[in-house]
């Protein structure tokens, strides 16, 4: 069942999303070579709870952490661990917050230290593909228009789009209908109507599109062990122009003029 949220409900989701954006920024302050990823998870959990929220991921289908932390060839759903970040890594941080009864969901991928130019371009272009997908989240379009925008941009550079994992609706439940693939055909899929809330989240691989799941039942890696990037916004479908409810503003205030900054073109207004 697809839900269509009122302006009042959307305002509540946006409050949740502001806490989420600030939680991301608290994590970003600590991202550097030598820090264990489990330390980042502690910071996020504490911040979310201190600000009246509930970590959406913690305990979800027995997931053991507040953050999905995915390093290098891990696409999504990586566990925080004792692993210490190294110069040249990339790390994707995916987080959700439930506040006032509503979830918000977003993700950001950071370069650590001296990352190769090719991998930096992967991050920038994945982020750009997110905004191209977001542009299509307007009333009258279809879900396939979002996926088509992401796919055609990513594949233009020789990257591949993960098929097994998709975006989704979000609201009172963390995952709601409809599914929002990062690939597709224009004019196909469920029709977008004002009030739909979508988590749009390109997962773009440097190499092949195939993925494998680790024995832990969660961690998803690229089949060829090449890097993957992941960026995500929670978005309200509107007439004429989408409304991005989550924000990277707090992250980018922290990462500005540092090696963590992921540059993008001005493809759309945030």
Binding-site annotation: residue ranges for substrate: 77, 175
Does 199 sit behind a cis peptide bond, omega within 30 degrees of 0 on the bond before it?
Answer: no
CA 170/CA 147 separation, integer angstroms? 17
CA 19/CA 23 separation, integer angstroms? 6
Tokens 């709601």 label which residue? 176
Residue ranges of the annotated binding site are 77, 94, 105, 168, 175, 201, 232
Helices (H), the chain: 7-28, 37-50, 117-135, 143-156, 249-255
- DSSP string of 122-150? HHHHHHHHHHHHHHT-BTT-BHHHHHHHH
Residue ranges of the annotated binding site for a divalent metal cation are 94, 105, 168, 201, 232
Taking Cα atoms as reference points, which of 110, 146, 113, 109 lies closest to residue 131? 146
Taking Cα atoms as reference points, which of 236, 80, 222 lies closest to residue 159? 222
The answer to whether the beta carbons of residues 126 and 231 sit under 8 Å apart is yes
Taking Cα atoms as reference points, which of 48, 47, 67, 49 lies closest to residue 57? 67
Question: Over the range 39-70, which residues count as b (16 or more CB within 10 Å of their CB) and which as e?
Answer: ebbbbbbebbeeeebbbbbbeeeebebbbbbb
- The Cα diameter of the chain in Å comes to 48
């Amino acid at each position: 069942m697809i839900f269509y949220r009122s302006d009042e409900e959307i305002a509540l989701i946006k409050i949740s999303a502001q806490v989420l954006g600030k939680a991301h920024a608290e994590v970003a302050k600590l991202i550097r070579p030598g820090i264990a990823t489990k330390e980042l998870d502690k910071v996020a959990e504490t911040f979310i709870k201190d600000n009246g929220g509930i970590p959406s991921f913690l305990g979800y289908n027995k997931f053991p952490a507040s953050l999905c932390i995915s390093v290098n060839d891990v696409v999504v759903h990586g566990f925080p661990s004792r692993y210490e970040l190294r110069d040249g890594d990339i790390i994707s941080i995916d987080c959700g917050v439930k506040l006032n009864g509503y979830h918000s969901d977003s993700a950001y991928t950071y370069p650590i230290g001296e990352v190769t130019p090719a991998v930096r371009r992967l991050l920038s272009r994945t982020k750009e593909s997110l905004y191209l997908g977001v542009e299509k989240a307007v009333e009258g379009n279809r879900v396939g228009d979002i996926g088509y925008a992401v796919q055609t941009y990513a594949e233009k550079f020789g990257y591949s789009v993960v098929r097994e994992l998709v975006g989704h609706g979000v609201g009172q439940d963390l995952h709601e209908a409809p599914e929002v693939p990062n690939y597709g055909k224009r004019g196909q899929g469920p029709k977008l109507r004002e009030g739909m809330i979508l988590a749009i989240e390109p997962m773009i691989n440097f190499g092949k599109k195939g993925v494998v799941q680790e024995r832990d039942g969660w961690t998803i890696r690229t089949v060829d062990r090449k890097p993957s990037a992941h960026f995500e916004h929670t978005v309200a479908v509107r007439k004429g122009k989408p409304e991005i409810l989550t924000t990277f503003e707090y992250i980018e205030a922290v990462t500005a003029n540092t090696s963590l900054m992921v540059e993008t073109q001005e493809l759309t207004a945030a």
